[in-house]
Structures are given as structure tokens and as C-alpha cells.
Structure 1
Amino acid sequence: MLSQKRSIGILGVGKYVPSKLLSNDEVESGCGLAPGTIELKTGVKARYIAQKDETASELSAIACREALESAKVKPEQIGSLLACTFTADYVMPALACKVHQLIGTKNAAAFDLMANCTGFQVGLNVMSDRLTCDATQSHGLVLGAALQSRFVNWTDPESCMYFGDGFGAAVLGDVPSGYGFLAHDIFSNSSVYESVRIRGGGSSMPMRPENINDSPNYYEINGMEVWKQVVQYQPLVIKNALAKAGLSVSDVDFFIFHQANMNLIQYLMGKMRLPMEKTHANVSEIGNTAEASMAIALCEAVQLKKIKHGDVVVISGVGAGFTFGASVMRWWSP
């Protein structure tokens, strides 16, 4: 059923970061890096990882419950639950379906989306479109879930510097006209498809006893190519999204970026000639939490009251593949 044009915004946010600390000292000693290398190259000082007996679904459920409480929305009011992840409990079925079971969103459709580190922003785009087009759904729940520590080879200095585990969520629903999402933009550059990957477990390389311990079961990263992609295309996707909204960079009050690397965030803000006070960064404290990073950063910024009612906010990320995305919204805070 098509609805009249609705204004869809974020009504509540939630997050969860595991309690197990993994320090730079531990990572550097395990992979042969000199002390201080990780912080110098990435700005990351520490990261947190899940315990061996913890699952992505149960930790995701914690973030989702917090978002529902923040929004003052009951689980049964959710019409769609979208999990942005590549680290579901199983290859299939979808992580969203297990979270659906755990939190009691009994009236919701549940499905997963993979856009890697851009996942949460792409998920916001998909969910806002879904709610705009279907008047029978009052609310949607978008989850960013990253239990990626189990896919990191902690002896590989090229990939182990960045990542931690984390989970973040947002509840979407109706807001007054002029508020909520104003525009989205997403595009991809597949020419660098192989630059960040985990091959093991895919249909071209299913896990078998003879390859269970091989490196293809872990992250493989070309860090220099990631840097090139971000500096070339992330400013462009932000500009495109703002143009759709009839706005420019100078109109933006606050930015939420994927937390890949502190040096990259500082570069992006410098390229736009904006002070760091106009963004919130947590990558130094918790590392790169992939699909969850923008959700966690947004939640923290809201809780710290860095984002105020009426602010123009841009959420932007870059994910393996590569997929670039940006969403522009006018923040509604009742």
C-alpha cells in the first residue's frame, strides 16, 4: 500500500560494546609490531571483543532493546527489522530473524543486508524508503552488528590493527514535516572489489576440514587502497546527498562517520574545512566496529547532547566492495 508522503526520522538509538578489553600492547606483541605503531597509524588505542560464549544475536538484542526504550516504542509496534551485518550467528538464516525472536518483534518482517562498513547508513536508507512506501508500518528497527573479532587473524599486522566488536540500533518512525531524512545517496566502485575481503565460508571457498585454519577464513586488507577510496569518493557521496536535499556542507551542524581510522576522520573534516567539534569520534576508544560504528557513534553523540533538535546531521560511511553512502536528516527531538 502506497502512503501519502511521510516524514521519517530516527526516534531512538541504542548500543552495546562488549566488556572484554584487547589493548594495543596485546595486539602489537601478538603480531610483531613495534609498541605505539597501531595508535600512530590508525589512532586506535584499544578495542573490545566478545567473549567466546557470546553470540552476535544476543549482543545485538541488547542494543535493540535500548533503542526501543529510547524511542518509547514497544517491540510489537515494529513493522520491519533490518540487520546490517556479515557476522550473523550462522551463514543462514538471517541474524535479523534470531534477534526478532529474542526481542519479541512478533509483527515485524525480518531480514539482513550486507553493505559492510556502510551497512547502517544503507540500512537507514532502505528502512526510511520502506516506511515511506507502506503506511501500514508505523516503525522500523535498523541494527548494525559486528562480531568481527572471530574473523581477524591477530598475527597479521596488516589487518589486526583496526577492528573491535560492537552493536548499534535505531528505531525509525514518523516525525513532523521538515524533519527526519531529507536525502540519501549511495554508489559503488566495484573495480576494487578484492581490496577488503573474507573469502573463507563463501560459496567459492566453503570451509572444509582441509582449509579450516587457512588465512582465507580471515580478513584480507589492502590498507592503502582503502585510504585512496575514502579520500576520493566519500566527500563526493556527501556532496551528492546534500545536493539532493538542497543543502551544502556549510549548512551541516554535525557529521557521523564510519569509524575506520582516526586519521581518516581528521582528513575528511579538514578537507571540508570544518572543526572536529562538528563530529563525534570513538574509534580511538573502541576501534573500527564496522557495520555498528555509525550506529554507536550516533548513539553516543545523542546521549552526550552533541546533536540538538533541528540540527542538520549527515551520516556517511564506506564499506568493502566498495560502497559509499550518505544520509542527510534534520534531527527531531520531541
Structure 2
Amino acid sequence: MSNFSYIRGLGYHVPERVYTNADLEKFVDTTDEWISSRTGIKQRHVVENETCLDLTFEATQKALKNAGMEADELTHILVATFTADTIIPSTACLLMERLGLKHRIPMDISAACSGFVYAVEVARALINLNPDSKILVCGSEVLTSRVNWEDRSTCVLFGDGAGAIILTSEDCENSGKVIDVLLSSEGESETLTVRGSGSAYPYKLGDVVGEEHFIQMQGRSIYRKAVRSMSSISNEILAKHGFTTKDVDLLIPHQANLRIIEAVGKKLELPTEKVFVNVDKFGNTSAASIPIALAEAKEIGAIKSGDLVLLATFGGGLTWGSTLIQF
């Protein structure tokens, strides 16, 4: 049995509405210069009447079209998110219904910004158990539903969007071979949190929503740990398969902010042209960040046949991971 899985289709979707930094200046105590110089973000896409399910559905439709597949060919639906429409049912269950499917295996996966890479590893395991599986793997977030617009240090960072891939055991034309995934974590409960709605923070009807319902983060600590963790696990996965960073054609890191992206690229001794960046257009979309970047990179020709692509991610939990793909 092959240990490889193959990316048969990719797609992404973001809301039409855009908040530029100038737009944020109108209701947040910030400036375009402050945001741009510290994060590299120029704009972000923001939902208007859409939900996490809506974004996921649109990204899925594009991935299916790219793969030349129909929805009823899917056997599993995995959605990485922490901003689901509802606690129950899961976004994956709602997506199955929206796609008109029954008797599939849907599940949401929670690993914050690392969620998509974690979901890819779950999909690889499922494919090895049942090589006939055709698995939809999505990362989707409506982060603007979980930002405190009065917290200028965090609200400027995040945007909404979804990305999707379809994984199978079958190699086909223009597919990408997932060589390996490495994951790691550090049980840590303070650096990056959204505590509200959890059972440790019960509330009753009529309670006022507090700061615990929104993203809270310790930016300096995250910067240090993200750079160290993403670069370390990237070197580890490359060495495991006899590669060095010189073999990498494109690094797609989690699009947290430009400073982290540039620091990881520097640690890995990769030239800027080999580090994919779209955080300026989309902001930090958490679990959707890497699948959006992967799908866009393929769409615009930044990934070519034969390229070795390295994914690196970091998120709350703390969680991090890396994926190696040969296109």
C-alpha cells in the first residue's frame, strides 16, 4: 500500500467586501502606516451576509471543478475551523447537507491556525486505511466574528475566507503528491485564546458578552515561538526525506503577518522569491490561510510541475506543523 496521498483539486473563496487599512482608520484607533509597518497587511476580506458554511461551500465547489469531480464522489468531509456556524452540528455536517450528500463521514477539526495541516494528516491516515477514499479537506474561518474591534492590537490582523483541497490515493495529471506531514504541539493555555462559549466559561441567558469571547493574544511571545517552531519542523521534515532548503522551490507559510513570514524564510535561508506571501491581501485567515495560499499559488503559476513545496504553520494550543508536497 502506498503511503502517499495526492492533491487532485484545489480552490479558495473569500467574501467580496474588503476592509482596507484606510477603512479601519474610520472606526479603529489605528493608522495604515501602523498596520502596514508592523504586519504587512494592506486589506482583508470581511463577510457581510455569509457564514463559515457559505465560504466553505464556495471553496469546495471550486476544488471539485478543479478536480473534475462531482460532490457525490466524496467519501469524507474534513473542515478545520474554530469559527463554525454552530457548535452542533459541525460545519462538516452542514456542508454535507448543502452538497446534497448522505452517509458520508464529516468532522470538524480544531487546531487553530494549524487546523488545515492537522486535517491533511487525518486525511492521509484515512486514505491509508481505505485507499478508495476521496477526501475533501477544508480550512474555513469567519474570524471577524471573533475579533474585538476595540482591541486595535488584534482586530487589524484578521480576515475571513476558505480554502479546500481534495485528497485521494490516485496519482493523476497535475496532482501534487503529499510526501509527508509532521505535527507537533505544546500544551499552553495563555498565549492565544478564545475562551468564551467554552464550558469553562459558562453563561446564562441575558449575560453580557465579555472580552473572553474574542481573540486574545500575546503578540511578542507568539512571534518568537512561531518563528522557532515553523523553521525547526520544516528543517526536520526536509531532513527526514533527504532534502535541504536548497531543494525547496516554494515555501508557503501560515500567513500570520509579514514579520513572521520573513523571519521564517530567513531562518530557512530561502530567498524572498521562494517564499509565498498573500497576507497583504487577505490578512490572517487562521486555518484557511494555507489552503487559500496553496490554491492561489497554483492558480497564478507560482507552483509549477516538478516543484517541491513546503508548508509550515503555527497556531494556538500551541500547535505547529509542516507538509512536503511534490507537484
TM-score, normalisation: structure 2: 0.95
Compute the displacement of 1:165 (Å): 0.3
Kept in 2: contact 1:10–1:170 (CA 8 A): yes
Corresponding position: 1:167 with 2:162: yes
Kept in 2: contact 1:149–1:163 (CA 8 A): yes
3-state SS of paired residue (2:277): coil
Q: Distance in 2 between matches of 1:260 and 1:211?
A: 32
Kept in 1: contact 2:192–2:317 (CA 8 A): yes
Compute the displacement of 1:24 (Å): 1.2
Q: Aligned runs of 1:187-206 on 2, under 5 Å? A: 187-191=184-188, 193-206=189-202
Kept in 2: contact 1:43–1:263 (CA 8 A): yes
Kept in 1: contact 2:132–2:168 (CA 8 A): no
Q: Deviations over 1:63-109 (max 9, x none)?
A: 00100110111111111110000111111221100011112343521
Query: Which deviates more, 205-214 or 258-267?
Result: 205-214
Q: Distance in 2 between matches of 1:46 and 1:72?
A: 32
Say how many residue pairs are matched: 325
Corresponding position: 1:11 with 2:8: yes
Tell me the residue number matched to 2:289. Answer: 293
Tell me the residue number matched to 1:27. Answer: 24
Tell me the residue number matched to 1:116. Answer: 112
Q: Distance in 1 between matches of 2:285 and 2:130?
A: 32
Kept in 2: contact 1:164–1:288 (CA 8 A): yes
Amino acid at match of 2:150: T
Amino acid at match of 1:230: A
Q: Distance in 2 between matches of 1:262 and 1:133?
A: 39
3-state SS of paired residue (2:284): coil
Aligned alpha-carbon RMSD (Å): 1.7
Kept in 2: contact 1:27–1:154 (CA 8 A): no
Kept in 1: contact 2:131–2:169 (CA 8 A): no
Tell me the residue number matched to 1:279. Answer: 275
Q: Distance in 2 between matches of 1:303 and 1:252?
A: 19
Alignment identity in percent? 30
Q: Deviations over 1:295-334 (max 9, x none)?
A: 0000110001111122111111001111010011211xxx
Q: Aligned runs of 1:52-201 on 2, under 5 Å? A: 53-137=49-133, 139-176=134-171, 180-191=177-188, 193-201=189-197
Compute the displacement of 1:286 (Å): 1.3
Compute the displacement of 1:58 (Å): 1.6
Q: Distance in 2 between matches of 1:174 and 1:72?
A: 16
Q: Distance in 1 between matches of 2:254 and 2:234?
A: 13
Compute the displacement of 1:210 (Å): 5.0
Amino acid at match of 2:237: A
Compute the displacement of 1:209 (Å): 4.0
Compute the displacement of 1:35 (Å): 4.4
Unaligned 5+ runs, structure 2 = none
* Distance of aligned partners of 1:209 and 1:39 in 2 relative to their CA distance in 1, 3 Å threshold: farther
Unaligned 5+ runs, structure 1 = none
* Distance of aligned partners of 1:244 and 1:179 in 2 relative to their CA distance in 1, 3 Å threshold: farther
Amino acid at match of 1:282: N
Tell me the residue number matched to 1:39. Answer: 36
Kept in 1: contact 2:235–2:268 (CA 8 A): no
* Distance of aligned partners of 1:307 and 1:83 in 2 relative to their CA distance in 1, 3 Å threshold: same
* Distance of aligned partners of 1:215 and 1:131 in 2 relative to their CA distance in 1, 3 Å threshold: same
Corresponding position: 1:214 with 2:214: no
Query: Which deviates more, 257-266 or 242-251?
Result: 242-251
Tell me the residue number matched to 2:310. Answer: 314
Q: Distance in 1 between matches of 2:257 and 2:101?
A: 35
Query: Which deviates more, 288-297 or 179-188?
Result: 179-188
Kept in 2: contact 1:85–1:291 (CA 8 A): yes
Q: Distance in 1 between matches of 2:295 and 2:3?
A: 24
Kept in 2: contact 1:76–1:107 (CA 8 A): no
Kept in 1: contact 2:21–2:31 (CA 8 A): no
Kept in 2: contact 1:85–1:113 (CA 8 A): yes
Q: Distance in 2 between matches of 1:65 and 1:207?
A: 38
